[in-house]
Amino acid sequence: AQSVTQLGSHVSVSEGALVLLRCNYSSSVPPYLFWYVQYPNQGLQLLLKYTTGATLVKGINGFEAEFKKSETSFHLTKPSAHMSDAAEYFCAVSEGSGGYNKLIFGAGTRLAVHP
Amino acid sequence: DAGVIQSPRHEVTEMGQEVTLRCKPISGHNSLFWYRQTMMRGLELLIYFNNNVPIDDSGMPEDRFSAKMPNASFSTLKIQPSEPRDSAVYFCASQAQGSSYNEQFFGPGTRLTVL
C-alpha cells in the first residue's frame, strides 16, 4: 500500500525566504503525487500534481515541486515566501486504478510566515 | 460550476442527537469521498463512493456512522447518536471518473460541535 511522510509538522520562514516543505512517498507502482493547501477555515485546494512526464511541476501561487524517483521524494518549494502563504500543506499519493482510486494524505505541514 | 457544496457549514448539537451532513458533488463527477479532520488525528478518509456505490467504508469509525448516496448529485453522512468525540470538521470531496491522477475537489467543510 502507498504511504506518505511529511517531514516537519510545523515550518516557519521569514517573508521573502525560501519555502521548502518535504514529502516522501512509498509506492509499489509509478505514483501520482499531489500537493494540496488548506487556508484557515477552508477546504483543501490543489496546488499542483505530478502524473507523468516532466519531473518539475509548477503550480499556483508560485509553488513548484520536483519528483525524484531515486529519492522517493516530492518536495514543495517556493523561492520567496509571502504572508499569504501561511496555511497547512498536504502531500498525497493516489492509490488504486481506473475509477476505483483514493488519495493517501500525509499528516500535513503547517507553514508560518513572519515579517 | 459552484464546486462541491456542503451543508450546514456549522452544526452545534447535544450528545445523543442525530446529525445529518449533506454534500452535493460537482456535476459529472462520479466519485465522492467523506473525510473527517481533527487536530489529534489529522485528515481521515471515512468512506468513498463510485457511481453511487460505497467502495470502501473501512474508515467509518463505528456503527453510529452511516453514509448514503441515493443519486449522483447528493450524499449524506449521518451520526446517530452523536458523541462529543465526533466533534470535527467533515469534508466532502468529488472526483471525475476514469483516472488515478484526476484531482479531488473539496467542499468548504461542516464544522460539527457535539456538546
> Using the beta-carbon criterion (under 8 Å), do A99 and B97 form an inter-chain contact?
yes
Whether A88 shows a pLDDT value over 70: the answer reads yes
Q: Which of A43, A101, A105 is the closest to B109 by Cβ?
A: A43
Instruction: State whether residue B58 sits within 8 Å of chain A by CB.
Output: no
Residue-by-residue DSSP string for A14-44: ETTS-EEEEEEEE-SS---EEEEEE-TTS-E
Which of these ranges, A83-87, A101-105, B68-72, B91-95, has the smallest mean pLDDT? Answer: A101-105
Higher pLDDT, B100 or B44: B44
pLDDT digits (tens, 9 = 90+) for A31-87: 889 999 999 989 999 999 998 888 899 999 999 999 999 999 999 999 999 999 999
Q: Which amino acid is at A97?
A: S
pLDDT digits (tens, 9 = 90+) for A8-17: 999 999 999 9
Task: Round the average pLDDT of chain A to a whole number and report it.
Answer: 92
The whole-angstrom separation of Cα B52 and Cα B23 is 13
User: Hey, of B10, B100, B104, B112, which one would you mutate to test binding to chain A, going by the most A CBs within 10 A of its CB?
Assistant: B100
For residue A88, what is the nearest residue in chain B, using CA coordinates? B42
Place of cell 469521498: B33
Instruction: State whether residue B52 sits within 8 Å of chain A by CB.
Output: no
Whether A27 shows a pLDDT value over 90: the answer reads no
Residue-by-residue DSSP string for A95-110: EEETTEEEEEE---EE
